[in-house]
Amino acid sequence: MNKVYLIGGGATKIGEHWEKSLRDLFVEAALKAVDSAEISLKDIEAVYVGNMSSGELQGQEHLGSLMATWLGIPGVAAAKVEAACASGGVAFHQAYLAVASGLYDCVLVGGVEKMTDAIIYDVTAALIMADDYEYVAFTGASFVGLNAIVYRYYMEKFGVKQEDIALFAVHDHKYAVNNSYAQYQFAVSLERVLESPNVADPIKLFECAPVGDGSAALVLCSEDFAKKLGKDFLVQVAASTVATDTISLTNRRDLATLEATVKAANRAYRIAKISVEDIDVIEVHDAFTILGVLHLEDLGFAEKGQGWKLLKEGELEKNAKIPTNMSGGLKARGHPVGSTGVYQIFDIYLQLIGEAPNQVDSAEIGLAQSVGGVGGTVAINILRRVK
Amino acid sequence: MKPLKKVGIAGYGAYIPMYRIKDEEIARVWGRDVRRTPIQEKSVPGIDEDSLTFSVEAAQNAILRAKVSPQEIEAVYVGSESPPYAVKPTATVVAEALGITPRLIAIDMEFACRAGTTAMQSVMGLVASEMIKYGLAIGTDTAQGRPQDELEYTAASGAAAFILGPHNSENVALIEGSYSYVTDTPDFWRREGEFYPMHSFRFTGEPAYFHHIYHAAIGLMESLGLKNSDFDYVVFHQPNVKFPLKIAKLLGFSADKIKDGLLTGIIGNTYAAASMIGLAAVLDKAKPGERILMVSFGSGAGSDAFSIIVQDAIEEKRNLAPLVEDYIKRKKYVDYATYVRLRRKLRR
């Protein structure tokens, strides 16, 4: 496999972009990424578009050709990559493979999702498509409902209090304050989280990632291409892995473990030749507070049932043991589903080049975890600063 | 948008049906947190009432205050999104009931919650051009809220009527000018054959309600050379309590100036009548010389802004008909089951 470098990135602010369409958002992020990489659009040989619900919410598929057209570069190889909420992380994986294989020297990967123009019932219906329609979704289950089952199970099995899990939302909001891309740039108290309305018991409104619009894009290139540009590039993709698990919770060995995270992470650590202790900063896919806690455990930062302690004891803070979601995470940076995975990698990239809004001192290795469904797909991408 | 000839309000009248349902009761039925409802209670029409009968009630009050003969009224414009008939005018029945027929211009208007104020603008034009002497503009609705939907907690019923005529000292107020702001913004709609409207949730806020009201208000003030400190009262379309308070703040008006015309909390959102009942409530209290800003909002979307100066005749005329407060006090609570019957939510 050839070495793959990350040489630029850009993103739109996440929010309610009433005046911008799906393509407007993508093009805005893509042009920012191209500018930051200091390359020309003509250098791009392939485009990967991470998106989950354009067909359902905008009546638009074929995003590869659409975005290539609107970027003014028809002719490139292009495709939409869909893996539910992990679409962004998996699109990055495809872009990585495209360069690592040696076929392409310069590839653009972007994630885009536009959720706020649709009626909320349609958004809920689109999101549950991430689970098994015939066996689960048809019962009327919603994503919040499924995560509520996991939440209850976890609290019961490990004797953990909700307030110790809900703290994840407080943590995310605290860091989103400084992130100009974040949907919610304000802090919240634990009381406010716990007093917010029930969505699916025990999950409170303020424990859920919001609905939003946004796009993030990154430029990946080969070592040869990087050399030709004659610049020092800082960030290399140390590992990019994807793993799947049974699509629904019903077939899981343990409701409190996302096996796909465990598998993808262990494989990524082997490829990157690192151990958990080497990682300086992470972005985890906390669509609900409970998931944030599970991810810390499944990624190997804590024993099963102990993840909440890292949160409570301040180990996730900037410059603590494992700085987590310095962007504000899914809860406060936002979660335009198919683009979230790319936002996360962009956030890690900013950490490694020293330009992050909540910069961790001398961050060298960062990890982004992107989860589809209730863990049916997990993408792990590890970046390393090489200069 | 200032008329060539000055136009005044000769008389005004409101009507609110006597039944009320508490949001707490609606929340109880749907298992919602009773502390988190948008308003306190909303008006509900009686079994034999509709937007047409409301129009007649409100117009009768307006005629009493205007002290004009129905035969002097030459236009009836009815703005509503809930007419009893899909095809067959309401304005004709209203005119007939009030003794205004047959020599008149009569028309129904529809523009979601804005139709009543656009009816006022149209009548203003007829009066200012001297095509007619007196005209009646009505905003009336029995708003529909889908069961369990957010709108069910606010969709209410009521009407307000204004008789406009040439400027003179007999009028209760002078309309200084009006300004409209309209765009194609699909924030709320009901398709042909559907019983309940659809809305686009948060999209109904910033790009719809706030954007249009803001620009209509600013446009009016700029065109008349007025600033926010020139107004003693402000009345906005009021789909809930939060939105009008927020737009008042955005436009730099103190909470004190909005409170008398903000009734949603206790009568609900009366749609096409909402800002007009608010204006009626302010006229019930305002002193001669005081200036009122009224801005409506209708989904789809548009806003009409008016600057109105109260005249001396208000003191004598306001007590010729029931005040808005009288209708607010006259109330009888119903439970959800009765509400279902009154609102014909059970389809037979």
As for the ipTM of the complex, it is 0.73
What is the residue type of A292? G
Q: Count A/B contacts: CB-CB distance under 8 Å.
A: 18
Query: Cα(B135)–Cα(B15) distance, rounded to whole angstroms?
Result: 19
pLDDT digits (tens, 9 = 90+) for A337-377: 999 999 999 999 999 999 999 999 999 999 999 999 999 99
The pLDDT score that the predictor gives to residue A120 is 85
Mean pLDDT, residues B180-202 = 91
CB contacts under 8 A, A 191-230 vs B, are: 197-198
**Is B102 within a domain?**
yes
Q: Which domain, by its residues, includes B30?
A: 7-171+316-342
Chain A residues in contact with B36 by the CB 8 A cut-off are 197
Catalytic site residue from A93, A173, A285, A335: A335
pLDDT digits (tens, 9 = 90+) for B256-314: 999 999 999 999 999 999 999 999 999 999 999 999 999 999 999 999 999 999 999 99
The pLDDT score that the predictor gives to residue A387 is 82
Helices (H) and strands (E) in chain A, counts: 13, 11
Distances (CA, A) of A221 to A30, A80, A236: 15, 19, 10
The pLDDT score that the predictor gives to residue A165 is 98
Residues A91/A109, Cβ–Cβ less than 8 Å = yes
Rounded to a whole number of angstroms, the distance from the CA of B184 to the nearest CA of chain A is 13
Chain B residues in contact with A119 by the CB 8 A cut-off are 198, 200-201
Looking at the predicted structure, is the pLDDT value of residue A233 above 80? no
pLDDT exceeding 70 applies to what percent of chain A? Answer: 100
Whether residues B31 and B85 share a domain: the answer is yes
Query: Cα(A345)–Cα(B158) distance, rounded to whole angstroms?
Result: 55
Which pLDDT band, with edges at 50, 70 and 90, does B164 fall under? very high
**Is B1 within a domain?**
no
**Is B2 within a domain?**
no
Rounded to a whole number of angstroms, the distance from the CA of A18 to the nearest CA of chain B is 7
**Is B43 within a domain?**
yes
* Contact residues, chain B to chain A, C-beta under 8 Å: 33, 36, 198, 200-203, 206-207
Looking at the predicted structure, is the pLDDT value of residue B126 above 80? yes
Which pLDDT band, with edges at 50, 70 and 90, does A230 fall under? confident
Rounded to a whole number of angstroms, the distance from the CA of B41 to the nearest CA of chain A is 21
The pLDDT score that the predictor gives to residue B14 is 98
Residues A213/A20, Cβ–Cβ less than 8 Å = yes
Whether residues B265 and B246 share a domain: the answer is yes
The pLDDT score that the predictor gives to residue B346 is 87
Whether residues B236 and B254 share a domain: the answer is yes
Mean pLDDT, residues A325-338 = 98
Whether residues B252 and B303 share a domain: the answer is yes
For chain A, what's the residue count? 387
Query: Cα(A382)–Cα(A367) distance, rounded to whole angstroms?
Result: 4
**Is B232 within a domain?**
yes
* Assigned token pair, A177: 């304050």
**Is B247 within a domain?**
yes
Using alpha carbons, select from A78, A102, A97, A93 the residue that is nearest to residue A30: A78
Chain B residues in contact with A117 by the CB 8 A cut-off are 200, 203
What CATH number is given to the structural domain containing B249?
3.40.47.10
Contact assignment for A16 to B33 by CB distance below 8 Å: no
Mutate to test the interface with B, among A16, A17, A18, A19 (most CBs of B within 10 A): A18
Phi, psi of B227 (to 5 degrees): -120, 170
DSSP A76: B
Q: How many domains does chain B contain in total?
A: 2
Mean pLDDT, residues A316-320 = 96
Mutate to test the interface with A, among B200, B204, B210, B211 (most CBs of A within 10 A): B200
Residues B173/B61, Cβ–Cβ less than 8 Å = no
Whether residues B227 and B187 share a domain: the answer is yes
Contact assignment for B206 to A18 by CB distance below 8 Å: yes
Contact assignment for B207 to A120 by CB distance below 8 Å: no
A16 close to B (CB below 8 A) = yes
Whether residues B59 and B136 share a domain: the answer is yes
Asked if the peptide bond before residue B70 counts as cis, ω within 30 degrees of 0, the response is no
Whether residues B252 and B150 share a domain: the answer is no
Looking at the predicted structure, is the pLDDT value of residue A71 above 90? yes
Q: Which of B36, B203, B207 sits opposite A197 (nearest CB)?
A: B36
Whether residues B227 and B337 share a domain: the answer is no
pLDDT digits (tens, 9 = 90+) for B7-43: 999 999 999 999 999 999 999 999 988 888 999 999 9
pLDDT exceeding 90 applies to what percent of chain A? Answer: 95
pLDDT, averaged across chain A: 96
**Is B348 within a domain?**
no
Can you give the pTM of this predicted structure? 0.87
The pLDDT score that the predictor gives to residue A80 is 98
Burial of A97 (0-12, 13-18, 19+ CB in 10 A): middle
Whether residues B188 and B244 share a domain: the answer is yes
Whether residues B99 and B226 share a domain: the answer is no
Which has the minimum average pLDDT: A113-122, B228-237, B295-304?
A113-122
A121 close to B (CB below 8 A) = no
Query: Cα(A325)–Cα(A284) distance, rounded to whole angstroms?
Result: 6
The pLDDT score that the predictor gives to residue B193 is 87
The pLDDT score that the predictor gives to residue A234 is 82
The pLDDT score that the predictor gives to residue B2 is 82
A18 close to B (CB below 8 A) = yes
The pLDDT score that the predictor gives to residue B221 is 98
The pLDDT score that the predictor gives to residue B36 is 87
Which pLDDT band, with edges at 50, 70 and 90, does A117 fall under? confident
Whether residues B241 and B328 share a domain: the answer is no
Looking at the predicted structure, is the pLDDT value of residue A232 above 80? no
**Other Cβ atoms closer than 10 A to A158:** 15
pLDDT digits (tens, 9 = 90+) for B46-105: 999 999 999 999 999 999 999 999 999 999 999 999 999 999 999 999 999 999 999 999
Catalytic site residue from A17, A62, A85, A93: A85
Whether residues B35 and B156 share a domain: the answer is yes
Q: Is B237 in the active site?
A: yes
**Is B191 within a domain?**
yes
Which has the minimum average pLDDT: A346-350, A355-359, B2-6, B214-218?
B2-6
Residues B271/B78, Cβ–Cβ less than 8 Å = no
Burial of B2 (0-12, 13-18, 19+ CB in 10 A): middle
Query: Cα(B234)–Cα(B254) distance, rounded to whole angstroms?
Result: 9
Burial of A283 (0-12, 13-18, 19+ CB in 10 A): buried
The pLDDT score that the predictor gives to residue B180 is 97
Looking at the predicted structure, is the pLDDT value of residue A231 above 80? no
